[in-house]
Amino acid sequence: MSLVSISAYKPLPGFASGFEEVLKLHIPTLLEEGLITDQPPFRMRAVDGTIIEIFEWVSEEAKEEAHSHPRIMELWSRFHEYSEMIKLMDIMECHEHMATFLGLNLEKF
């Protein structure tokens, strides 16, 4: 059984490009630390600019480890400088039966 996370980050006003630069480090850092699988992540953007990121953890233990890992915690603190995490239910598209988003080119990240 896989453990998949869906995270939603809403860039703070004026910080979208700064956030995208930090986001570029997210998946590579998690991979380098052995916390997520090599299953390709998926990123998409909502109409309001929120970026949704989907990736697979190696295990529940790896997910828990990430929340105390110094390198990951430093990266996540940078996320909070540029964005806020929001609940999926707060994304307009998620109120539709078939939520549709703009897929983001992973090469960009």
Q: Do the Cβ atoms of 42 and 101 come closer than 8 Å?
A: no
pLDDT over 60 (residue 109): no
What residue type is assigned to position 91 of the chain?
I
> Nearest Cα to 99, choosing from 53, 55, 56, 47?
47
pLDDT tier at 105, thresholds 50, 70, 90:
confident
Predicted local distance difference test score (pLDDT) of residue 34: 97
Q: Which helix (H) or strand (E) holds 82?
A: helix 70-82
The position carrying tokens 């997210």 is 26
Write down how long the chain is. Answer: 109
Q: Do the Cβ atoms of 66 and 60 come closer than 8 Å?
A: no
What is the set of domains in the chain, with CATH numbers? 3-108 (3.30.70.100)
pLDDT tier at 99, thresholds 50, 70, 90:
very high
Tens-digit pLDDT profile for residues 35-91: 999 999 999 999 999 999 999 999 999 999 999 999 999 999 999 999 999 999 999
Q: Provide mean pLDDT across the span 26-31.
A: 96
What residue type is assigned to position 45 of the chain?
R
Burial zone of 23 (CB within 10 Å; 0-12 exposed, 13-18 middle, 19+ buried): buried
pLDDT over 80 (residue 21): yes
Q: Do the Cβ atoms of 75 and 22 come closer than 8 Å?
A: yes
